[in-house]
Structure 1
Amino acid sequence: MTEERDFRSTVFLPKTDFPMKAGLPQKEPAILARWQEQDLYARTREARAGREKFILHDGPPYANGDMHIGHALNHILKDMVVRTQTLLGKDAPYVPGWDCHGLPIEWKVEEEYRKKKKNKDEVDPVEFRAECRAYAAKWVDVQREQLKRLGINGDWDKPYLTMDPQAEGTIVAELLKFAESGQLYRGAKPVMWSPVEKTALAEAEVEYEDIVSTQIDVAFEITDSPIKELVGAHAVIWTTTPWTIPVNQALAYGPDVEYTLVEVVDAQDNLVRPTEPIPQLQHGMRLLIASQLVKSFEDRCRLPIWNNLGEAGEPLLIKGSDLAGTLARHPMHHLGGFFAEPRPLLPGDFVTTDSGTGLVHMSPDHGEDDFDLCKAHGIGPKFAVEGDGKYRADWPWLGGLGSVINPKFNAPDGPICSDLREAGGLLAASADYKHSYPHSWRSKAKVIYRCTPQWFVPMDRPIDRQAPLCATEAEIRDEQGAGETLRQTAVQAIAATRFVPEKGRNRIGAMVEGRPDWVLSRQRAWGVPITLFVNRETGQYLADPEVNARIVAAVTQGGVDAWSDERAQEYLGDQYRAEDYERVTDILDVWFDSGSTHAFVLESGRWPELSWPADLYLEGSDQHRGWFQSSLLESCATRGCAPYNAVLTHGFTMDAKGLKMSKSLGNTVSPLKVMETNGADIIRLWALSVDYTEDHRIGDEILKGVADQYRKLRNTFRYMLGALADYDEVEALPVEQMPELERYVLALLGRLDATLKQAVADFDFNTYVRALIDFCNEDLSAFFFDIRKDSLYCDAPTDPKRRAYRTVLDTLFQALIRYASPVLVFTAEEVWQSRYPGSDSVHLLEWPQVPAAEADLARWAELRSLREKVTEAIEPLRREKIVGSSLAAEVTVPETAPDADLAELFITATVSRGQDDGVAVAPTEKHKCGRCWRHLPEVEDDGALCARCDNVVSALETPV
């Protein structure tokens, strides 16, 4: 037996200082500081100057709190878009922005007031707005640093803020474009109103939660009708908002609904349940109810039997349309005045028999259908409920009382039901009706529909513009003629826009097709004012371009405080008298602010690297009713088309169980804490690994899985760094001189390259990351690296096989570091600087040029499948310690196996053919080389060298 010698010093093992342990929380801040010192964003702009542009316009988050996981996901996706487009060689600037006006910030400042027992209404508005501005500025700074820490590369020194005076001036200018083209009107309509916040709300500011309400059935006595049997009977309505009964003005029936007139049998004698009868339901009382709903009404009222009033004991059936001309009176008619006025029964197409009684009480102050139906019959709102949710003090019933959203006020024993019961009009009442109800997403308080004078943008009024500004508008005019409506323009713009995922088109399309007129006004202090003067005599607003120009200039110069009574005459000039005009004091819906950002950010020239329209808007799916839609409507109204070419939406982040995150549930995940413990690259890898188009999850176990994937990617780069430690390009071999395995791996790289490019084009980052990880783990680590470690470690440095392998490793490194750089922004920089210390940032590189290589992929798939079977067959021998490694195994494979150096591919001693099917494995009798550990016929004894190793060792030991 040959005396064993230690040949470890002769083996060419990978050498690198790149650590396996990442230590991201400590390393990332230092890398970030270096980027800031180098001004990486400006250098990126210089590197891509003059190239094709890709413009992502940032949707502005509210500046009112720490970054949460939704912020993190959203901005990582945006960063991925910008970085991948930059990698492709495009000039893709990113200007971040913040929404600084509106209720979210005003509400926070008011909370501080409430803590100090201060009344906001007693504070000078200019002082209050200054506090709102300071509050927003504080959180802009906080969020900016948090987003930078995520590795988001953008123009952080020059973000856009909607509270910037120039932005406020642009918003005013956009509003006045609406005014000058006749796209504004002041009208009284029911809008979502928050009694707690005392303002109108947009649909996007409302969320729906399940509540339990009081449901009541109320009888309205019929005083006149073309159907004589109805006079003296009672029309029965059902509602879950008892507080609207004091503002009732009519009843609605379904023209096609069938109604039945029934008579109450003695309530005391005919109860089906042992409960007290309802006093109002007296024997002989006649009730008008939809035929389909008699049974459910019977259940609510605890009554078993009705007398049918038709001939021969048949039900007396009445078609809804025959109720035209019928009048009823309010249960509280004895109060006189408003309540003594007749309540007409009106035809309503919205009346259904899904629930209730088939008759609906109408309060035009508090419902859209109510308002529209009553308006069509000359009945207007009464404005009985004040902004704080109480009935106005002079209202004849419950004046000064409320709040109307208080459950106790609406309860079966509350003042409304008690008064109705005493008046004989309450037939049933129970606090057990569970349903979904709108709430303000800020205060979490219930909202109401409330009719108030507001400013609106009409959706269906023809727009009078001088000339089209967009090609799509010209197309619309060709198809529909001049004067298309805002709704028509928006629908056409949606058809011309790309949506990712595609289902977003239907979602926003349905919302636009069905939405009411846009309510622009809010009754608050912190926001951009509706800078209009209204003629006190005619009620018309002034649309004078010269006046408007002075207003825009003043706001651009001095911000929103410039809109004041003191300067009214200055704006009106010599042609108009300030005393003849009302200066509107409402502010704009904050969605108009953000919907106008495309004008300020993309068109103003303040960021010359940007251009209009944007290539992409990217936000959460809730923005179909928010920013996507307000931007669409604003741009369609002023420019005739959308301000974006494509819209990308992502779902919401849930906890590990799929539940919505909530502070009260304690299931929130803070990206700040994750960065402290795991690092930003882990959050980035998570965000880009999930299917963001749907709701997705995050939790400790999920993050552990992501960290494991990260470690595998990191080790892939670590291996390549070590294997290429002393690589010189003079070592490179051309593709045609490479072994088949190298050419196959290059072909796989080419396929990966195409997959990733397509994923970038599709914004399919889940596929991008998965393809990259699978390639590194399956094609490289578990296959190519595994097979070629023998050549790397043991072949002579000049050996063509080793040179080919290292040439491919360098090609792989140059490609993979670029592919990974938009995902693992810090790690990619660390890897790049490890190989090229002191060089320019990896993020200035462009998409790799992958050499073309051909391979029979189907044949190689067959070989790899056979390799897996061989590995599985060897494993039992390894477990039983019959062989120490696959190198000590001799394998027999089917005769039909593809031709190749199978022993090399399988990393075995020998491979022979002849097995009919399947794989056979046996331990080898051949001796083991003391350097490469291969079992070969030429090795005379264990520990001796094979011919290859002997030549390499001899060359190393021979003096040069």
Structure 2
Amino acid sequence: MCAETPDYKATLNLPKTDFPMRAGLPKREPGWLERWEKIGVYDRLREKEGRTPFTLHDGPPYANGHLHIGHALNKTIKDMIVRSHQMMGYDARYIPGWDCHGLPIEWKIEEQYRKKGRDKDQVPINEFRSECREFARGWVDVQREEFKRLGITGNWENPYLTMDFHAERVIAEEFMKFLMNGTLYQGSKPVMWSPVEKTALAEAEVEYHDKESHTVWVKFKVALHYDPNDPKRHEKSDLEDANVVIWTTTPWTMPSNKAVVYGEGISYGLYEVTATPEECWANVGERFLLADDLAADVFARARLEDGMWQRVRGVENDELAKISLLHPLAGAEGANGEWDDLRDFRAADFVTSDEGTGFVHCAPSHGLEEYELYRDLGMLPQVITYNVMEDGRFRDDLPFFGGKAILKPNGKEGNANSAIIDKLVEVGGLLARGKIKHSYPHSWRSKAPVIYRNTPQWFAAIDKEVGDGLDMHGKTIRERALTEIDNVNWTPKSGRNRLHSMMEARPDWVLSRQRAWGVPLTCFVRKGVAPTDENFLLRNPEVNQRIVEAFEAEGADAWYAEGAKERFLEGIVDPAEFDQVTDILDVWFDSGSTHAFTLRDREDGTEDGIADVYMEGTDQHRGWFHSSLLQSVGTTGRAPYRNVVTHGFTLDAKGMKMSKSIGNTIVPEKIVQQYGADILRLWVAQTDYTADQRIGDEILKGVADSYRRLRNTMRYMLGALNDFSEADRVDPAEMPELERWVLHRVAELDKVVRDGFARFDFQGVFQAVFTFATVDLSAFYFDIRKDALYCDGDTLRRRAARTVLDILFHRLTTWLAPVLVFTMEEVWLERFPGDDSSVHLVDMPETPEAWLNPELAAKWAKVRAARRVVTAALEVQRTEKVIGASLEAAPVVHVADEAQRAALESVSFEDVSITSDITVTGDEAPAEAFRMPETQGVAVVFEKAEGAKCERCWKVLPDVGTHEYPGVCGRCDKAVREALAEENA
């Protein structure tokens, strides 16, 4: 025995680390951002040679306002895609971009003008455009810093902007490919129109909200056609004085009515009013043609109860075919003959008997189905009207309604509907009226309702053969798009069906907008020539080249400069023979063209101009994914992307859509200030982004708890790896089984992580890594090996454990770095400090397949199952205060299965169970033994450990006190001797 007792604590290998438990992310994250910028992480990654390029093409956010939570979700997913692929060995490039043209910016400048009493129309157009440009530039700078604060990596110094001169040149150039390949045409057809914004809108610029609308049931008097060869032509028909009744929710379209249509498969009847209440617009004896399935509902709307009307007889389709109709305002005093022409009456396949009357009123200038019906009949000249002006008012000379507004400038209901309804009542043309609440299209910018309005616009024909010779995937834009959709990988798979169905049904692409801030439609039309004439458009490569060269040098403002027409045409054609188009391109054409000036033209683009990934919200199936596909197949014949990934919408904690008016919006900046960006990023990784996600305070608290558990795991490893060196490393073949089991799990998980990242399944990756870190490691492996790490001397077991911890460190930091960009950098620098050190400059380590050992894993599955029963049994004793710690126990474990028993006997099961001793037996367990229903064949009988408690490792062992150093076991006696010898060396 030694005369003196050493300080046993000083001989323990206690963990040492300065890594704090409290993260302090909001204050510390900006420092790492500065560090990454200083050492140029993104640029240094580009210097790595021999790597396969991987490019995520950024769908451009709009440069107008601070970021919302949807932006944060979107950019974080993109960042995780880029970072994970970079760390898997790719040259993963990300060029942030912004959409800079368009109406919202124009509106902001116009608001500023109104405050100053300026009239936009009196301001030179290029002065106005310059102010729009500066406004957009300011918001680009603001949003760039907000995105960077979220830890988003990318080429922030050189983003792409749709308003850059080269971008404007390419957008114009791409437009001129449609001009030259024959798909561009000017047509007059109903398009979605915003009277408030005075411009046409694309489907992607429209959102649907509930709206209360007027609804009216209107009478059209029957006028019969008589066959002069019919001997009965002089006989009076019972249909002659009848009325066809239509139903519409847009009374304002009645002045533009040109026809009524019926359905060939619908059963119709002739009905007569037999009695009327006091307040009613029907008269006794009045007759109506109605669909039989809807007649009762129509009469109820007209306040006619059962018994006040009767069905006279059925009416066949061949009878309907002999009918024309009179507009209800025909012959009205003061109408000046505006509505006196007979209305067309025919069958149409879009008529149903689901609601209404079974007859549909047609104003082809304000309805696409009606327009297409009469277009196919070759009757458009007879049915198209131009009654509604760009601001939603009726033309001034329209009888009764001239100057009436469908909508007020603020988007509220105008006086047109009420004026028309009143007039119909006055002339006896109304049978019933009411109100209906229904889903209705609104401009997503102004939030005001839109209308369908016939107006001359520029279109790309998607069913016309494209004259460019690129026929490998189809001859028309639609054929090419539908083919290419199936050449793309969609995440989730439902995205394919969504876009495919849209592309199958979509009309021609409306390219033009009647605004000022954007890229103009760079084309000229021949004066005095009809749009249908082959020579209407000037198609001249020399003119086109002049335009694009000017745009490259001066931007699209060159189109609006004084003398622009002469500049571009003189010496090639006579400028006097042409008019210059002044409409601007739909901003979706801008963003749809970004693949050309970003992927194709930039040095950090792609060789073939195709992106590996497009990733946006699911609304972009009708937006950016849609327009990019149309634009690309129209100019290159193929899709601009190989993968399309979509995310859902972000809702509040209750699943409600976020709205400023409700007050349930969550701003990314506030989350970052309270929790740090890594918590926001972890929320993204934990959620199934392919569906709608929820976020709120309680949800974020749960995320923060997961973060703390991961941080604990990393801190444990850092402490245990203090002063680890290559001299400590152990070859896997020499390691104990437990360490080799951990390496097996690492090899399994490495495949899960890489496959998951490749499939953009961040939730799956994070769940797998989190479960491994908290269950396999913290609750199992770390728990078991804590004793060896702290108490062993220089043993193989301890060196093997530390080797495994080093392996785990490199995997966990790189697996989690794409998600927790700040925290994993902090963890990395704690171990590997240095001016140029960064976890984001390294790859995920390759994991040898030889580490996989399914047989060993199966064996340790049996060990873990038995351990769970032992642990639960000891917890009962601890709760009842029989023991204070599991090391006071030496239980007897009864195991029925021979293979499981052999597995337990082949390992140090007392160490695995964290007891001082343990007995494994095949004897039948007594009735009072502890059992768990989910683990059959294992029972535990509690016994206390015999011996004294080691003052150093706290195990209760018989040999404590029998060695050189007092109060310790044999293992600790040896470790103390080694520690003191090293100290004295």
Separation (CA, whole Å) in 1 of partners of 2:113 and 2:490: 43
SS at match of 2:53: coil
Partner of 1:947: 970
Over 3 Å counting, the alpha-carbon distance change for 1:575 and 1:10 in structure 2 is closer
Partner of 2:386: 383
Partner of 1:480: none
Partner of 2:232: none
C-alpha displacement at 1:607, in angstroms?
3.5
| One-letter amino acid of the counterpart of residue 460, structure 1 | D
Separation (CA, whole Å) in 2 of partners of 1:517 and 1:919: 75
| One-letter amino acid of the counterpart of residue 621, structure 1 | T
More displaced stretch, 890-899 vs 946-955: 890-899
Separation (CA, whole Å) in 2 of partners of 1:236 and 1:197: 35
**After superposition, what is the alpha-carbon deviation per residue over 1:632-658, rounded to whole angstroms, capped at 9, x for unaligned?**
001101111101111111111111111
Aligned: 1:504 with 2:466: no
Residue from 382, 390, 395 that aligns with 1:392? 395
Partner of 1:494: 485
Counting only pairs closer than 5 Å after superposition, residues 183-198 of structure 1 correspond to structure 2 as: 183-198=183-198
C-alpha displacement at 1:297, in angstroms?
0.4
Contact 2:730 2:803 in 1 (8 A): yes
C-alpha displacement at 1:703, in angstroms?
0.7
Separation (CA, whole Å) in 2 of partners of 1:919 and 1:108: 75
Separation (CA, whole Å) in 1 of partners of 2:67 and 2:597: 25
Partner of 1:527: 518
**After superposition, what is the alpha-carbon deviation per residue over 1:575-606, rounded to whole angstroms, capped at 9, x for unaligned?**
32222111111100000000000000011135
SS at match of 1:297: helix
Partner of 1:272: none
Contact 2:481 2:629 in 1 (8 A): yes
Separation (CA, whole Å) in 2 of partners of 1:465 and 1:611: 19
**After superposition, what is the alpha-carbon deviation per residue over 1:268-313, rounded to whole angstroms, capped at 9, x for unaligned?**
3xxxxxxx421x301111111111100110221111246888xxxx
SS at match of 2:893: strand
SS at match of 2:918: strand
More displaced stretch, 319-328 vs 680-689: 319-328
Aligned: 1:723 with 2:720: yes
Partner of 1:818: 814
C-alpha displacement at 1:107, in angstroms?
2.2
Partner of 2:149: 149
Partner of 2:13: 12
Separation (CA, whole Å) in 1 of partners of 2:605 and 2:294: 65
Separation (CA, whole Å) in 1 of partners of 2:617 and 2:943: 59
Partner of 1:880: 880
**After superposition, what is the alpha-carbon deviation per residue over 1:498-553, rounded to whole angstroms, capped at 9, x for unaligned?**
10111100000000000011000000011100011001122311111111111111
Aligned: 1:455 with 2:458: yes
Aligned: 1:921 with 2:942: yes
Contact 2:276 2:308 in 1 (8 A): no
Separation (CA, whole Å) in 1 of partners of 2:122 and 2:339: 37
Counting only pairs closer than 5 Å after superposition, residues 51-450 of structure 1 correspond to structure 2 as: 51-225=51-225, 228-268=237-277, 276-278=278-280, 280-305=281-306, 315-320=312-317, 322-333=319-330, 334=332, 335-375=335-375, 376=377, 377-378=379-380, 379-404=382-407, 409=414, 414-431=418-435, 433-450=436-453
Over 3 Å counting, the alpha-carbon distance change for 1:720 and 1:915 in structure 2 is farther
Residue from 512, 520, 527 that aligns with 1:536? 527
C-alpha displacement at 1:258, in angstroms?
1.6
Residue from 736, 749, 752 that aligns with 2:749? 752
Contact 1:256 1:321 in 2 (8 A): no
> What is the TM-score when the length of structure 1 is the normalising length?
0.95
Separation (CA, whole Å) in 2 of partners of 1:688 and 1:887: 39
Partner of 1:800: 796
Partner of 2:616: 619
| One-letter amino acid of the counterpart of residue 480, structure 2 | T
Contact 2:404 2:415 in 1 (8 A): no
Separation (CA, whole Å) in 2 of partners of 1:705 and 1:455: 52
Partner of 2:767: 770
| One-letter amino acid of the counterpart of residue 422, structure 2 | S
C-alpha displacement at 1:347, in angstroms?
1.6
**After superposition, what is the alpha-carbon deviation per residue over 1:778-798, rounded to whole angstroms, capped at 9, x for unaligned?**
1111111100000000000x2
C-alpha displacement at 1:417, in angstroms?
1.1
Separation (CA, whole Å) in 1 of partners of 2:374 and 2:871: 80
Unaligned runs of 5+ residues in structure 2 are 227-235, 531-535, 926-937
Separation (CA, whole Å) in 1 of partners of 2:124 and 2:737: 80
Over 3 Å counting, the alpha-carbon distance change for 1:875 and 1:115 in structure 2 is farther
Over 3 Å counting, the alpha-carbon distance change for 1:382 and 1:411 in structure 2 is closer
Contact 2:946 2:957 in 1 (8 A): no
| One-letter amino acid of the counterpart of residue 812, structure 1 | L
**After superposition, what is the alpha-carbon deviation per residue over 1:109-167, rounded to whole angstroms, capped at 9, x for unaligned?**
22333444443223221111111111100000000001111111110000000000110
| One-letter amino acid of the counterpart of residue 452, structure 1 | T
SS at match of 2:434: strand
SS at match of 2:881: coil
| One-letter amino acid of the counterpart of residue 426, structure 2 | E
Contact 1:330 1:342 in 2 (8 A): yes
Residue from 787, 790, 794 that aligns with 1:790? 787
Over 3 Å counting, the alpha-carbon distance change for 1:397 and 1:4 in structure 2 is farther
Contact 1:262 1:307 in 2 (8 A): no
Contact 1:208 1:437 in 2 (8 A): yes
**After superposition, what is the alpha-carbon deviation per residue over 1:240-269, rounded to whole angstroms, capped at 9, x for unaligned?**
11111111111111122121111111213x
Q: CA RMSD in A?
A: 2.0
Separation (CA, whole Å) in 2 of partners of 1:843 and 1:408: 56
| One-letter amino acid of the counterpart of residue 303, structure 1 | L
Over 3 Å counting, the alpha-carbon distance change for 1:364 and 1:358 in structure 2 is same
| One-letter amino acid of the counterpart of residue 190, structure 2 | P
Partner of 1:911: 918
Separation (CA, whole Å) in 1 of partners of 2:36 and 2:68: 24
Separation (CA, whole Å) in 2 of partners of 1:488 and 1:894: 70
C-alpha displacement at 1:864, in angstroms?
1.2
Residue from 651, 665, 669 that aligns with 1:668? 665
C-alpha displacement at 1:865, in angstroms?
1.8
Separation (CA, whole Å) in 2 of partners of 1:397 and 1:489: 49
SS at match of 2:658: coil
Separation (CA, whole Å) in 2 of partners of 1:522 and 1:74: 28
Partner of 2:953: 932
| One-letter amino acid of the counterpart of residue 756, structure 1 | V
Partner of 1:513: 504
Separation (CA, whole Å) in 2 of partners of 1:866 and 1:747: 20
C-alpha displacement at 1:411, in angstroms?
9.0
Separation (CA, whole Å) in 2 of partners of 1:373 and 1:324: 16
Separation (CA, whole Å) in 2 of partners of 1:409 and 1:237: 23
Contact 2:275 2:308 in 1 (8 A): no
Residue from 569, 573, 594 that aligns with 1:572? 569
SS at match of 1:216: strand
Separation (CA, whole Å) in 2 of partners of 1:409 and 1:590: 29
| One-letter amino acid of the counterpart of residue 293, structure 2 | Q
Separation (CA, whole Å) in 2 of partners of 1:694 and 1:923: 53
Over 3 Å counting, the alpha-carbon distance change for 1:577 and 1:337 in structure 2 is farther
| Count of residue pairs the alignment pairs up | 932
Separation (CA, whole Å) in 2 of partners of 1:214 and 1:85: 55
Separation (CA, whole Å) in 1 of partners of 2:240 and 2:804: 95
Contact 2:617 2:647 in 1 (8 A): yes
Unaligned runs of 5+ residues in structure 1 are 269-275, 478-483
SS at match of 2:942: strand
C-alpha displacement at 1:50, in angstroms?
3.2
| One-letter amino acid of the counterpart of residue 421, structure 1 | V
SS at match of 1:263: strand
C-alpha displacement at 1:6, in angstroms?
5.1
Separation (CA, whole Å) in 1 of partners of 2:842 and 2:813: 10
